[in-house]
Amino acid sequence: MDGILLINKEAGMTSHDVVAQLRKILHIKKIGHSGTLDPNATGVLLVLVGRACKVLPFLADTDKEYIASMELGKKTISDDIWEEVLDEKPVIPIKDLQKELDKFRGVIEQVPPMISSIKVNGKKLYEYARNHEHVIRPVRSVEIYDIQALDEAKLQFRVSCSSGTYVRSLCHDIAENTGNYGCMSSLIRTRVGRFSIQDCVTLDDVKKGEFILHPIKAVLDHYTSVPYTPISDVYNGKHIRLQCEDNRLAILDKGDVIALYERDHGDVFRCIRGLW
């Protein structure tokens, strides 16, 4: 069993919990995931099964889409409503949510939440937070492709963004920009790359056998897929020679990706990952 499984993660579960359950349901140990979702978030979780686990380091940065809402008046350690409240202050109503959201389009700088797995000096930020240690958080550049208000009263919006964007930090920054404290109060991931929440199944669906395993090449669009003969050279990890303009290749055998190659020199390519 090899391929990509798209799970609609429910609230109250970590991404690791999903993987653990799938290992029991599918009776296979080689399962991993890409793009962690917080326990209280729901939506698209891209799960790699069997040989697909081998391509995890080679996945392209996948853009995301979310539907989020925020709550004003509270400042929390995690930038969401589920962790410790650090301070509160009266709310200044936001009169035009879309106008405020538009200010965050394009490339912006973010400071990640203290409750996150970003590492500083080899230690994760949440470890500093749990030990009540102060640390300077790194500023990161991310890109907001599109952001649209959905419900002014609930402060709900849809955002399309680059990989690595923290929507919790975005909620904090939008609120701060209006003179408020604020934090995220709900989050649904509706898209990862080409895959939308409509493509996903639940864990219950998987238990019933009602699911599709997408082919490995579905997450390797940034590699040019080509067949090659003699295929035995590929299975033996040998250098191969191809007339090709692209520098990265996914070698196919009977339609399935069996190896990833990159240009070594001239028209010679070397194997960087075998998937057999």
Q: Compute CA distances 7 → 1, 28, 30, 113, 138, whole Å.
A: 16, 16, 16, 26, 31
Query: What are the tokens at 177?
Result: 């920009």
From CA 42, how far away is CA 151, in angstroms rounded?
19
Beta partners for residue 87, in sequence order: 75
With residues binned 3-state (H G I as helix, E B as strand, rest as coil), the percentages for the chain, rounded to 5, are: 20, 40, 40
Residue 51 contacts residue 216 (beta carbons within 8 Å): yes
CA-based nearest residue to 25, from 46, 43, 47, 45: 47
Beta partners for residue 149, in sequence order: 157
* Phi, psi (rounded to 5 degrees) for 223: -110, 135
To 5 degrees, how large is the angle CA 76–CA 186–CA 150?
A: 120
Strands 182-192 and 64-72, by their bridges, are antiparallel
Query: What are the tokens at 51?
Result: 């040989």
DSSP H helical segments within 140-260, as ranges? 167-177, 203-207, 231-235
Residue 125 contacts residue 115 (beta carbons within 8 Å): yes
From CA 197, how far away is CA 9, in angstroms rounded?
10
Instruction: Report the catalytic residues.
Output: 38
- Among all chains, which residue has been given the structure tokens 């701060």? 176
